[in-house]
Structure 1
Amino acid sequence: MLMKRFTLFLAVALFSVMSVAAQSVQPPSERLFTDPLDEQNVSTVQLTGMPSSNVELAQSQSVDGPLQYGTNRPVDIHPRRNGSWTQLANGDFLWRVQISSPEALTMSAALRGTLPDGAELYVYGADYSTKRKPIQPADLGEELYWTPYVDGSALYIEAVVPQMQRENLEIQISKVVHGFIPLEEALAGRYGKSGACNIDVACSIADPWNDQVDSVMSYTYSDGTGSFVCTGSLVNTTDLNSVPPYVLTAEHCVSTESQANSMVFYFNYQNPTCRTPGGTQSGTVTSDDRNDETMSGATLRMSYGNFESQGTISGKPDVTLVEINNSIPLSYEVFFSGWSVEGNAPAEAVTIHHPRGHGKRISFEYDATSITPYTDSTSGGSHLRIEDWDDGTTEGGSSGSPLYDLNKRVVGVLSGGFASCGNDAPDWYGRISEAWQGGGTPDSRLRDWLDPDGTGATTTDGRRKSLDPDDNIPPSAPTSLAATADPSVGEVTLSWIAPSDDGNGTEPVYTYDIRYATSPITTAGEFNTAARVPFTSNTQAPGTQETTTLSLIPERDYYFAIKAVDDNFNTSTASSTSSATPLPDEIPPARPEDLVTTVADRDAEQVRLTWTAPGDDQKMRTVTEYDVRLSVSPITSEADFEAAERIDGPANPVGPGQTEEVVVDVEPNTPYYFAVRAIDNKGNVSPIGTTEENRAVATSTLVLTEPSSSRVTESVSFRVATTEQQTVDVAIYDVLGRRVFVVFNEEIDADQGRAVMNLDLSQLSSGRYFIRALGQTGAATQPISIVR
């Protein structure tokens, strides 16, 4: 059985530069210079197309390993030979080149060389909507620098060079990554998207893990002819005086220096709101831009696994540690996760990851993990086994993601497994305790890097990087903390008076540590164990009112507490609410989605209706019951729903994101439409989910039912059904065989039908007529008499 953490292989093909063309391209609207260009010709380096057989092979093959999203195409592009030069009004020079790779879904490049002082290099997409931060002279050197990707099949690279430095622009673009699997969810439908059962880190269930969420990032890297995507996490060390930008990940993703050098890190890429797990929106496009906060390049510090040497994960824990080459900008507000190498199997576990390289998700295992070999295939205890994820899952692209114990410390990294939406299959995480001593040398041993002073510690907690390490004065405490509930949307708004930094100054604090619980928060221990929610707004001046709104699970009483935090992460004393804030349940469940009907048993005249179970109460709890309706007419309104026949729903509703099913006894040859509403334990009802198409249990390839009456005065009703897709013509004929009235001529899908209700025949004179249905598979006729 193939593992889902897979590599897509691509046969090596010869690529060449076909032509250099000129194209008129609108330049970016944001320029550092003062004279935006209205139109400018730009030279194009056009690569040959990739053979379709190679693309199909790359998209279909899979083996145990990381998710490959692209192939590396060799090029040799240099400002002296390629591109176009333009002198700007201020005297600076602008060099530009377009690189085009037909059918690419994403593109990026690898370059090396020298940028002269004062120069900046830019990377753009075709419409300049994906402008990246400038590459600075210090970023380039002898090692290849890999750019973040842009969407589409065209990549623009531009350099702005001071007037006297044009001849000193010495860069070479040597590789272009042609992406054949999209890393943007908007493009993912054709090639696979992250599963709908995944849980956004913006959902309230993730609130206690907000620090750890800020630790996890997606990254891409290149190896030979391919480019790949995995997940990693920033980790803390025992050194209290520094926080190196160490990233923990899997050895089967990154195990060589060249791979580490090619890494591009994407921070804080996650959907800003909670989408219903299991709903159609979960796993689709996120409004977040994964390229807002990126970094390029890393150094391999240690790796301990068998993938590089033997092509297998089994036998070793599959652990790698790299160090990002530059300091992470403070504006990224990242967290460095704690870790434990005590070697115990967690009683419960959590992972945070980027499935298929898409927006960040979180998954929960509420049962005990176990120590096993990888996939249970060999002896030893190199891995932790997740029996099955209770909430969420993992996918290709999740490789290298951290596994946390209940103390919120990393204990493993994802190696692989069989878990996916819709199954209860296991995953395996390489134990970092097995890599602590590793192979006995610094380049194969985790201990040297995470415990650099040899303290002997087996655990450490996470932390954030200080913005002002000399500040040892805590801020004053927030005052007048109040909570106001809005049950209609399941939210509580907190308000308080902003304190000052350093206790008595005029400077605002850096941020707030906000906690909530269902019992009073009066002690330090209760504060630390309460759920934490991020404060994402800019802090206000001392003495003004601050507010923030929390989305919480209804039907509970809540208590709140808050601490002010300064830029050295000194914290104030806590302010807390003294009484409970009730949050009644007035939120209806989400709409049932993905309604599908099929013929369950033709002989028994049964139709199967399935749908994706919605969530209740902030999309995380199970609904109480369903109101299921069927009708021979489309159900498009409240009135239609109420008029439709109610049938029994599932006896025991399943959790959000799972598939619900009912089997319904129906009349044969009758096209039925279905609709479903979810109902929670407080009687709140969801919006209506409906089937757009009908379903009929046809008894032959083409059926025309008996009319509602054989003696018609004004109107008649009948039905047409078929077991095969075909175009059906239905008309009224007189006794001489003349076609006197056309009812309809349209295509009917297999196991569907058409109900003709109250067909007006008042324009026909008295006499004998025939209703005739004609299709590709046959014909059917029913007689009627019109009586005046």
Structure 2
Amino acid sequence: MVLSVALLGSCGVGVPASAQETPTPPSTQQTTTTPAASVPVKTLPAIDRAALRAEADAQTDKSRPYRFGKAIATDYSPDRDGTWEQLPSGAWLWRLRLRSQNAVSMNLGFKRFRLPAEAQLYVYGPDTEVVHGPYRSDDATNGQLWTPIVPGNEAVVELKVPPRTRSDVSVRIEKVSRGFRSLATASKQARSKARACNIDVACPQADPWQDQVRSVGLYSVDGVDLCTGSLINNTSEDGSLYFLTAEHCLQGSEEAAASMVFYWNYQHPTCRPPGGEESGEVTFANKSAQTSSGALLRMSYGNVETENQIAGKPDITLVEIDEPIPPSYGLFLNGWDRRDVAPSEAVSIHHPSTHGKRITFERDSTSITGFNNPSNDTHIRVDWDEGTTERGSSGSPLFNSAQQTVGVLSGGESGCEIRDWYGRLHNTWNGGGTPDTQLRPWLDPIDTEPETVEGRALADDTIPPAPVNLSVEDVTSTSVRLQWTAPGDDGMDGTADRYLLRYRTSAPERPVDAPIETQDDFEVATQVSSVPSPAPAGTIQSATVDVSEDSSYYFALVAVDEVLNASPLAAVDRDVTPVNDLQVTAPAPNPARDQTRLRVVTEERRRVQVRLYDALGRRVSLLLDDEIDPYRGTTVPIDVSSLSSGMYFARIRVADGRTQTRKISVVR
């Protein structure tokens, strides 16, 4: 699944779990829910960060994943732990807090992840600055779901399910990983450093390689280990999300592949001069800004799974990411070269020690050899001229001068001006002779047998049209029902992938119109968490939204296709103001010189009169005498430009006899 904070392609609007301005947990949209501080806490054992770092750092071999966390087995579920409460709409809300002293981050592994239709799960920090979700039942991969990290020592799990479906929830938190190295935005006191000879991908040397930079991602496995990998193209040019990495990172495990969490576009925004102290410092950027979760193991060809060593096979694995990636991430599918030749020059792009992306250059010829063994031909040996690689770089791609992938990093030496060994695509093309040990059936699904393939940008798609005829169908004092006609995935054909429904509000104390008219308005609007999945084009659909009395709501809806292109906005052309009695706002501005105004709302369609009187009770003017629609603010303009200074009174009278009065001060 695609996560937390991303921008959708052409429309430019944010999409949660699908990515990113921060999604809004349902509990924060309610005024009646239990305060977060009162939600039950499960306290996990504290971790010794220094001891765990020392233990991990003692493993200096680069042919191992880079460890950042310590996982603990758990068995938490909504039927035994946390707290349930019912919302005014009848929906149910479950929450649980998890805490581990000294942890710098938390990430969760769910098993038996089955939710009712339209149920949504969120994971976030107590300050809600980092929120992951919403997750739905189909976001699980092989029955499990791993989340990106939440910075800090506490994580909140929140689940909202529709009315009468609470008994259909089957979710278990099976593992909690507690970070002993920071993976979130680093603090200025962070000690972790990459070697100063690393080269940022923002440096001029990397300018010709920006497409390849966009292909590379950092990923976690089982919530505790980190490696690098890259997206790769195939002969059908269909945008399949194939991701190439090292066998020793996953060890041929389908479970490990399902646990993968990918972090995209994590890199320093400027070039820090190589060799300087600043170049070795932490990349101060947010790793969890663009993420994906879950992958399917497609092939694996290496010796680590069976012999616990790399030598003898190329050490290559291919997975397929299990959910669409937003086009706005701007990712790239690398080309490849499977010929039996050693590159005359080489480049690698990687994440050293979990840091932002770096680039490394070899200006001279490489050589074909075995891994630390010249007697076979499974690997390409590179003697780097500029830059280096480190633990965490495992699985990163090796490019030839044509900018095509020829190998994957297995391991090498430590330091600067080092040697590394990359498993060869040539040897993995036919691999062990079966589809689960070969690259050929995956990278050449149409059997054209090319030796090279060019790279390409991640697939675009036709933008879906806006949902048709978005309207308000029913309003009560606690809910609003919206209705629309479903658009398609491509034009008015097919079925869109999901909806984004958002609202803006105004209140009596700040009676200003807040319609959603632009993409910028939509970006800052509050997301509605429970929205139905799209139906086939032309189907009438609806959604019921919980609301609070006496606030005015303005709604807009966007449809999203399977590659997360967003439609234009469909906005309701009116406010919705739930009340259970006559509501009249205070005049604004007040005092007034020329013009002021107030707003009137009723809970039923009624004739309303608004008259203006002076301080002696003499009628000055009739401002309104008409029937007004229920649950909709009617603005009453008041022209005071010809009135003398003094106090005036606007008297509002409903046909059923209810009245209210508002004072207006006129100044000259």
Same structural fold, with TM-score higher than 0.5 when normalized by the shorter chain: yes
Q: Which of 420, 429, 438 lines up with 2:422 in the alignment?
A: 429
Deviation at 1:52, TM superposition (A): 7.4
Aligned counterpart, 2:123 = 123
Aligned counterpart, 1:412 = 407
Q: Are the counterparts in 2 of residues 185 and 285 from structure 1 also a CA contact under 8 Å?
A: no
Aligned counterpart, 1:42 = 39
* Amino acid in the other structure paired with 1:390: D
In structure 2, stretches of 5+ residues that fail to align are: 1-21, 465-518, 520-562, 564-668
Mapped to 2, the partners of 1:284 and 1:129 lie a distance apart of 24
Aligned counterpart, 1:382 = 378
Q: Are the counterparts in 1 of residues 105 and 179 from structure 2 also a CA contact under 8 Å?
A: yes
CA 1:256–1:405: 2 relative to 1, 3 Å: same
User: Which runs of structure 2 are paired with 1:529-568 in the superposition (5 Å)?
Assistant: none
CA 1:53–1:197: 2 relative to 1, 3 Å: closer
* Amino acid in the other structure paired with 2:313: K
In structure 1, stretches of 5+ residues that fail to align are: 1-27, 472-537, 539-567, 569-788
Mapped to 2, the partners of 1:285 and 1:160 lie a distance apart of 37
Mapped to 2, the partners of 1:185 and 1:78 lie a distance apart of 30
Bigger drift between 351-360 and 180-189 goes to 180-189
Q: Which of 288, 300, 305 lines up with 2:285 in the alignment?
A: 288
Question: How many residues of Structure 1 are paired with residues of Structure 2 in the alignment?
Answer: 438
Q: Does 1:253 align with 2:249?
A: yes
Aligned counterpart, 1:372 = 369
Mapped to 2, the partners of 1:206 and 1:310 lie a distance apart of 38
TM-score when scaled to structure 1?
0.53
Mapped to 1, the partners of 2:312 and 2:127 lie a distance apart of 48
Aligned counterpart, 2:335 = 338
CA 1:352–1:171: 2 relative to 1, 3 Å: same
* Amino acid in the other structure paired with 1:72: A
Q: Does 1:80 align with 2:79?
A: yes
Secondary structure of the equivalent of 1:182? coil
* Amino acid in the other structure paired with 2:160: V
Q: Which of 396, 400, 425 lines up with 2:395 in the alignment?
A: 400
1:288-341 CA-partner distances (Å, limit 9, x unpaired): 321122111111111111111111111111111011112222222211000000
Secondary structure of the equivalent of 2:39? strand
Mapped to 2, the partners of 1:52 and 1:218 lie a distance apart of 22
Deviation at 1:141, TM superposition (A): 6.8
CA 1:381–1:189: 2 relative to 1, 3 Å: farther
CA 1:167–1:38: 2 relative to 1, 3 Å: closer
Deviation at 1:450, TM superposition (A): 0.6
CA 1:115–1:52: 2 relative to 1, 3 Å: same
Aligned counterpart, 2:644 = none
Q: Are the counterparts in 2 of residues 59 and 181 from structure 1 also a CA contact under 8 Å?
A: no
Deviation at 1:391, TM superposition (A): 2.2
Deviation at 1:38, TM superposition (A): 8.4
CA 1:437–1:354: 2 relative to 1, 3 Å: same
Aligned counterpart, 2:307 = 310
* Amino acid in the other structure paired with 1:456: E
Mapped to 2, the partners of 1:283 and 1:160 lie a distance apart of 44
CA 1:51–1:382: 2 relative to 1, 3 Å: same
Mapped to 1, the partners of 2:159 and 2:246 lie a distance apart of 36
Aligned counterpart, 1:262 = 259
Mapped to 1, the partners of 2:394 and 2:335 lie a distance apart of 19
Mapped to 2, the partners of 1:106 and 1:291 lie a distance apart of 12
Q: Does 1:155 align with 2:131?
A: no
Q: Are the counterparts in 1 of residues 388 and 417 from structure 2 also a CA contact under 8 Å?
A: no
Mapped to 2, the partners of 1:35 and 1:470 lie a distance apart of 33
CA 1:470–1:35: 2 relative to 1, 3 Å: closer
1:558-589 CA-partner distances (Å, limit 9, x unpaired): xxxxxxxxxx9xxxxxxxxxxxxxxxxxxxxx
Q: Does 1:203 align with 2:206?
A: no
Aligned counterpart, 2:525 = none
* Amino acid in the other structure paired with 1:179: G
Q: Does 1:446 align with 2:439?
A: yes
Aligned counterpart, 1:554 = none
Mapped to 1, the partners of 2:408 and 2:146 lie a distance apart of 25
User: Which runs of structure 2 are paired with 1:377-776 in the superposition (5 Å)?
Assistant: 377=373, 379-387=375-383, 389-420=384-415, 423-468=416-461
Secondary structure of the equivalent of 2:278? coil
Deviation at 1:199, TM superposition (A): 1.8
Aligned counterpart, 1:192 = 192
Mapped to 1, the partners of 2:186 and 2:312 lie a distance apart of 39
CA 1:470–1:186: 2 relative to 1, 3 Å: closer
Aligned counterpart, 2:642 = none
Deviation at 1:272, TM superposition (A): 2.1
1:176-235 CA-partner distances (Å, limit 9, x unpaired): 11222322462597663222322221222211111111111111012xxx7210001000
Secondary structure of the equivalent of 1:186? coil
Q: Are the counterparts in 2 of residues 185 and 284 from structure 1 also a CA contact under 8 Å?
A: no
* Amino acid in the other structure paired with 1:405: N
Mapped to 1, the partners of 2:400 and 2:193 lie a distance apart of 28
Mapped to 2, the partners of 1:436 and 1:188 lie a distance apart of 46
Deviation at 1:134, TM superposition (A): 1.5
Bigger drift between 30-39 and 363-372 goes to 30-39
Aligned counterpart, 1:98 = 97
CA 1:367–1:189: 2 relative to 1, 3 Å: farther
1:528-554 CA-partner distances (Å, limit 9, x unpaired): xxxxxxxxxx9xxxxxxxxxxxxxxxx
Mapped to 1, the partners of 2:34 and 2:434 lie a distance apart of 59
Q: Are the counterparts in 2 of residues 385 and 426 from structure 1 also a CA contact under 8 Å?
A: yes
Deviation at 1:403, TM superposition (A): 0.5
Aligned counterpart, 2:68 = 69
Q: Are the counterparts in 2 of residues 124 and 157 from structure 1 also a CA contact under 8 Å?
A: yes
* Amino acid in the other structure paired with 1:71: K
Mapped to 2, the partners of 1:320 and 1:141 lie a distance apart of 18
Aligned counterpart, 1:353 = 350
Mapped to 1, the partners of 2:30 and 2:463 lie a distance apart of 44
CA 1:281–1:152: 2 relative to 1, 3 Å: same
CA 1:83–1:364: 2 relative to 1, 3 Å: same
Supply the RMSD in Å over aligned alpha carbons: 2.6
Deviation at 1:130, TM superposition (A): 1.6
Mapped to 1, the partners of 2:321 and 2:188 lie a distance apart of 29
Secondary structure of the equivalent of 1:133? strand
Deviation at 1:138, TM superposition (A): 1.4
Deviation at 1:149, TM superposition (A): 1.1
Deviation at 1:452, TM superposition (A): 1.4
Q: Are the counterparts in 2 of residues 231 and 401 from structure 1 also a CA contact under 8 Å?
A: yes
* Amino acid in the other structure paired with 1:467: D
Aligned counterpart, 1:327 = 324
Q: Are the counterparts in 2 of residues 115 and 140 from structure 1 also a CA contact under 8 Å?
A: no
Q: Are the counterparts in 2 of residues 114 and 141 from structure 1 also a CA contact under 8 Å?
A: no
User: Which runs of structure 2 are paired with 1:207-246 in the superposition (5 Å)?
Assistant: 207-222=207-222, 227-240=224-237, 242-246=238-242
Mapped to 1, the partners of 2:398 and 2:25 lie a distance apart of 43
TM-score when scaled to structure 2?
0.62
Deviation at 1:57, TM superposition (A): 5.4
Deviation at 1:94, TM superposition (A): 2.1
* Amino acid in the other structure paired with 2:432: G
1:332-354 CA-partner distances (Å, limit 9, x unpaired): 22110000001211111111111
Mapped to 2, the partners of 1:401 and 1:305 lie a distance apart of 16
Q: Are the counterparts in 2 of residues 181 and 191 from structure 1 also a CA contact under 8 Å?
A: no
* Amino acid in the other structure paired with 1:460: V
Aligned counterpart, 1:606 = none
Mapped to 1, the partners of 2:219 and 2:53 lie a distance apart of 24
* Amino acid in the other structure paired with 1:465: L
Aligned counterpart, 1:749 = none
Q: Are the counterparts in 2 of residues 44 and 99 from structure 1 also a CA contact under 8 Å?
A: yes
Deviation at 1:167, TM superposition (A): 2.7
